[in-house]
Chain A
Amino acid sequence: MKIIEFKNVSKQFGTFFANQDLSFSVESGTIHGLIGENGAGKSTAMKVLFGIYPLDGGEILISEKPSLIKNPIHAMSLGIGMVHQHFMLAETETVLDNIILGHEPTSFFGIINREVAQKELQKISESYGLHFSKWNEPVSRLSVGEQQRVEIIKLLYQKSEVLILDEPTAVLIPQEVKELFTNLRRLKDEGKTIILISHKLKEVLEYTDAVTVMRRGKVVGTKVTRDTNEDELAEMMVGRKVSFTYQGERKILASQVKPKSVLQVKNLSTVKTNEPLKDISFELNPGEILGIAGVQGNGQSELLRFLSHPSSMASKANGEYYIQGRSVSHASPLELRNKGVGLVPEDRISEGLLLQQDMTENFILGQQEDPRYISRGFINRKAVTAQVQNKIKEFDIRPPYTTVWAGKMSGGNQQKLLMARALDPDPSILFVAHPTRGVDVGAIEKIHDAIMQERNKGKAVMLFSSELDELMDLSDRILVFFDGKIQAEFSRREFDSWDIGRTMGGGDKAAGGEQ
């Protein structure tokens, strides 16, 4: 039976079609993948289904009956539940209270009967084999994987038949991913339907029964998972034959033959932090791109924070950090900048931009004391604006006006602005983090080109990314982080996604690069 069916569903924001004529259906009792690049419209489609957005055209059938879903509450009453990317759990409250919220069993005068609730939850947990019993602990004491399980139990408690999971594995470590899918399969066996939003081809191929691919707000097609493969899905997602190798020029530089490092880190450890580093040592050479790989939360962010702002970690970090042979273990960002370090931070919105300021003001950030932009002790905005105009041309930033607020630019253009700003003082060392996260395909190529150009000019680049393909495309060398340590190092000729992936999960590097 088709439990969900989209018929020509459209959703518009202004003149922009986030969803256009979507038609596909989900069979009851299956795990159905919904894949596509960032911005392809997957989440929008599910938000329409969940009643968060009203639809602008077409209709949705639930259990083969046309249904006009008014709001999330209505959707829930129709048996549709959603686990959002950011969990809907209050950390200070207990698991039990978080789950029963809105559906509390009460005895008299609205007094909650928590015993009845706990019994019911225990029953749910047992009947679906979820092995959970920490009902009276505050959510803050649970691991991310457990919190996700609480979200799923919440949906089961609300008697959802269709469970939508939005990028559920983005926050999980590999073991938890496995556990999640074991649980999801059990739910499927009990007759539940699961819709899995993802952009990771591998997990979709491994765990789903059918998969719908979206691109630019449209459905490209729906496939039975066992009849398709990675190449086909990738091509459907991106819309052209994907080549997994970077097309631009990769020069062979003299410095690589006889490397002389420009940056050294020796025995770096951190304490009292979220993802402590354990005895990290490495060197960075001119003319190379050093990729930093790892599942989120294994120390990469911490390393970047230390490298770009050692003074902020003074009380937490131990170890040595040299640039051009000089110790910078306690340097400030401005001092590093003067030593030729450029930075594209991890999260462009929260760490890179002033959203309610124009391009000129954003371009000043971090450069406010640059002599080129100071005259008579004051910031010379004319000089800055002139430079921004040059950069707009050079990086093809759109819209091409210096007075545009950063918050009104697309992700790709924001990222180009950050690249332009980082490269403005012509640094000899460049830290780039997640340069293409949530960026459209066209901009990705521009950004990759810019990074490669710096390398080819003999600059030293460190690339932090969660996209293994991106790292393998660009890097000359990759360091894999796991649990705060360097788990493995791969030189370019050793690159193998399976092998690197295994070390990201804590496994050892295969000897000699063979299986």
Chain B
Amino acid sequence: MKAITMNASMRALVKSILGAMLGLFLGLMICWFTGESPIKILKILFQSAFGSGYDFGMTLFYTAPLLLTGLAVAIPFKSGLFNIGAEGQLTMGALAASAVAVVAPNVQSPVLAIALAVVFAFVGGGIWGAIPGFLKAKRGSHEVITTIMLNFIAAGVSAYFTLYVLKDPNSAQAETLLLPSVYHLKAFECFNGAPMGPLIFWLLALVVFLYFWMWHSVWGYELKAVGENEKAAGVYGISKQKIWMSSMFLAGGVAGLVGIIEVLGNSHRFKIGFSADYGFVGIAVALVARGNILGIIPSALLFGILQKGAGSLDLETDKVTRDLSYIIQGLIILGVAAEGLWTRKRK
């Protein structure tokens, strides 16, 4: 018998698709338990995601942050680090972006304004990412633990700033000052009010650029070498410290750009708890993409659809709530992560 031969990336793709489908299937089967037909749920999910211009716009609005958090997990992963901290990094990025309203309220040029906000968001998230990178490099502190801790610290710090430093005195909500209109991003007309515009193309371009950068640059090579065999990389003069710090800074910065989507594109201010767990879903996005940077695009879209679609479950069904999306996300991750499901044990 001749085995079907596939190259490694093809096999990874097939495994991802199988795992995601299994997770989705199990999630829908759980609905059966409530008396709702899984087919109906699936239909609601898709109609809600693609039904109208507005729906599609919202789907993209949910997809966009996942592109970034997917990158924020996938990039350090290539250097052997597990970034569980995208949630904290995007929080700090968004907080920093909202701070431009206080720091530079009188900027006239929209281009300059947006560039300024991008720098703030990137650096804000970047620093938050660089801390665990630094601790890992200099002190050997495990990045999984430090990033988890920093998620909570970011929540506390951002809450403090929102309530005490950047607080909007005219609002009863926990939110910061409204940004001047020069900072507001345009949305496409055809999305009928869904807050997503040309930004989505910039983000896609960023993914493609990073794909290219990771594969062709010397830095990308060094990153891969450290991730693959840090001892050998060290013997040949590649500093894992430098790589870990830089990759975590980049990851944090990219996650921080979520702030642009939310603060500049949507609410024009920082609101506590705006993130729909984008940082954690980003782990799923990167996982389903299996480390392939371009694969993050379809993977993020899948989870974006799920996020948007689930929102309609409350209205369209009697018993199923939007929280189903958590269950399905969890199951998809488990389905994709469970290596042993799709590969026979090697002897």
Contacts and interface: CB of A to CB of B under 8 A. Distances in A.
A365 B236 contact: yes
Interface centre among B216, B234, B235 (most CB of A within 10 A): B235
B229 A379 contact: no
B164 to A, nearest CB: 44
A444 interface: no
Interface centre among A337, A345, A351, A374 (most CB of B within 10 A): A351
A379 B217 contact: yes
A368 B238 CA distance: 10
Contact of B228 (A352, A357, A368): A357
B228 A354 contact: yes
Contacts of A337: 237
B218 A369 contact: yes
Contacts of B210: none
Contacts of A366: 236-237
A354 B231 contact: no
B311 to A, nearest CB: 41
A368 B237 CA distance: 10
B216 A378 contact: yes
A351 B232 contact: yes
A350 interface: yes
A350 B231 contact: yes
Contacts of B221: 361, 364, 368, 379
A488 B329 CA distance: 67
Contacts of A185: none
B216 A365 contact: no
A461 B285 CA distance: 50
A101 B137 CA distance: 37
B235 A333 contact: yes
Interface string B3-26: 000000000000000000000000
B222 interface: yes
A379 B216 CA distance: 6
A374 B228 CA distance: 22
Contacts, number: 59
A351 to B, nearest CB: 5
A355 B238 CA distance: 17
A356 B235 CA distance: 18
Contacts of A365: 225, 232-233, 236
Interface centre among A333, A357, A365 (most CB of B within 10 A): A365
A378 B233 CA distance: 19
A377 B228 CA distance: 23
Contact of A312 (B216, B224, B229, B234): B234
Contacts of A312: 234
Contacts of A374: 218
A309 interface: yes
A345 B234 CA distance: 11
Contacts of A308: 235
B229 A368 contact: no
Interface in B238-257: 238
Nearest to B227: A354
Contact of A356 (B218, B228, B233, B237): B228
A353 B218 CA distance: 17
A75 to B, nearest CB: 19
A166 B225 CA distance: 34
Contact of A368 (B222, B231, B232, B235): B222
B218 A350 contact: no
Nearest to B220: A379
Interface in A328-372: 332-334, 337, 343, 345, 350-357, 361, 364-366, 368-369
B232 A353 contact: yes
B218 A351 contact: no
Contact of A352 (B222, B235, B238): B235
B66 to A, nearest CB: 27
A316 B139 CA distance: 18
Contact of A351 (B216, B224, B231, B237): B231
A352 B222 CA distance: 14
Contacts of B229: 350, 353-355
Contacts of B231: 350-351
A312 B150 CA distance: 30
A332 B235 CA distance: 10
A76 B342 CA distance: 35
A334 B224 CA distance: 18
B232 A354 contact: yes
Contacts of B234: 309, 312
Nearest to B239: A332
Nearest to B216: A378
Interface in B178-234: 216-218, 221-222, 224-225, 228-229, 231-234
Contacts of A352: 232, 235
Contacts of A357: 224, 228
12 contacts: A309-B234, A334-B237, A343-B235, A350-B229, A351-B231, A352-B235, A353-B232, A354-B224, A354-B229, A361-B224, A365-B236, A368-B218
Interface of A: 308-309, 312, 332-334, 337, 343, 345, 350-357, 361, 364-366, 368-369, 374, 377-379
Given A365-B232, A368-B238, 17 more contacts: A309-B234, A312-B234, A333-B236, A337-B237, A343-B236, A350-B229, A350-B231, A350-B232, A351-B232, A355-B229, A356-B228, A357-B224, A365-B233, A366-B237, A379-B216, A379-B218, A379-B221
3 smallest beta-carbon distances between A and B, as pairs = A333-B237, A366-B236, A378-B216
